[in-house]
A and B are shown apart, each in its own frame.
Chain A
């Protein structure tokens, strides 16, 4: 089923995945140490650090383990739609919760 060049390509991918695995472990460890031992005073700073590291980890998993960086155009098209609707949903939530629109504050007639 696979010829030599295929096999060589897969071995290259495996080496790359192992490097990503090590990077993911290190990032998780950093996130844990920063949160658990360093006690960042600012709540905003702790959220930014934790989610920033999570975003890098997510990029590594989606981009390389799921092969998104080298995936076909149709997959990228599907994901562009997903990102658009996901962003719109998040924006709606934040918009609904700002100022006078804040949920739970009643409707002004």
Chain B
């Protein structure tokens, strides 16, 4: 059965069906991410004044990832524009670059996650608190690299993050001196919880985008020979989705990394 309005516009909407469909889907996505952003706002305004964590994330890496995603957005547009100009080889090149950039984004994000799972808040029996990474373990001794303070609140206060980043050094601790140790995973604090949920959902969208774009770039590209108009529409719809993923990151980056 032939599905109508796959490549030509419907007279009543003025758009082909997939375009109406993707906009409806993106509208639902706005509500999904909006619900999570509202959870973030709720957690943040409910935190004690000056105690919302800041400086926990790697800002240069976050900035690099923002550049990568913005660049991938423009290469996605260039791919679609190549098809519009009958340049299939150009589409293959730009779509391929978009996929590689998306994979790079996910790789950097994975490294950031890995780092958080190896970043510890250590409470010592003498009342000191460490905000540190484990350098090495030798028998009964653990060598941390990080920040050491006797003031428990100093590891949490918002304005103290520059101090925590500057005053990092090696700290040797005997295992018997440790009262508790907890990494900066999702269960560490409301901040890390919402950070992992928001960026995790965004990362799933990136992975979904990679799968779809790879299909269009690879096995699905056979359609260019049989129905080029419909194939171009597919590339446009995938591009719209990809721009939305970029748009979400444009808000996630300042909200989680910069403020």
Contact of B81 with A10 in the complex, beta carbons under 8 Å = yes
Secondary structure of the B contact surface, majority rule? helix
Contact of B254 with A61 in the complex, beta carbons under 8 Å = no
Q: Do A2 and B243 form a contact, CB below 8 Å, given A21-B70, A86-B30?
A: no
- Taking CB atoms, residues of chain A closer than 8 Å to B244 are 66
- Taking CB atoms, residues of chain A closer than 8 Å to B24 are 78
For the side of the interface on B, what is the size category? 35 or more
Q: Is B114 an interface residue (CB 8 A)?
A: no
Secondary structure of the A contact surface, majority rule? helix
Contact of A74 with B13 in the complex, beta carbons under 8 Å = yes
The docked-state distance in angstroms from the alpha carbon of A25 to that of B232 is 27
Q: How many residues of A contact B (CB 8 A)?
A: 53
- Taking CB atoms, residues of chain A closer than 8 Å to B253 are 28, 31, 54
- Taking CB atoms, residues of chain A closer than 8 Å to B259 are 35, 43, 46-47, 50-51
**8 CB < 8 A contacts A-B:** A31-B258, A51-B259, A61-B73, A65-B73, A75-B19, A89-B31, A90-B34, A97-B45
Besides A51-B254, A74-B20, A86-B31, 10 other CB < 8 A contacts? A6-B84, A29-B63, A32-B59, A35-B258, A36-B258, A46-B259, A47-B259, A66-B244, A93-B42, A103-B42
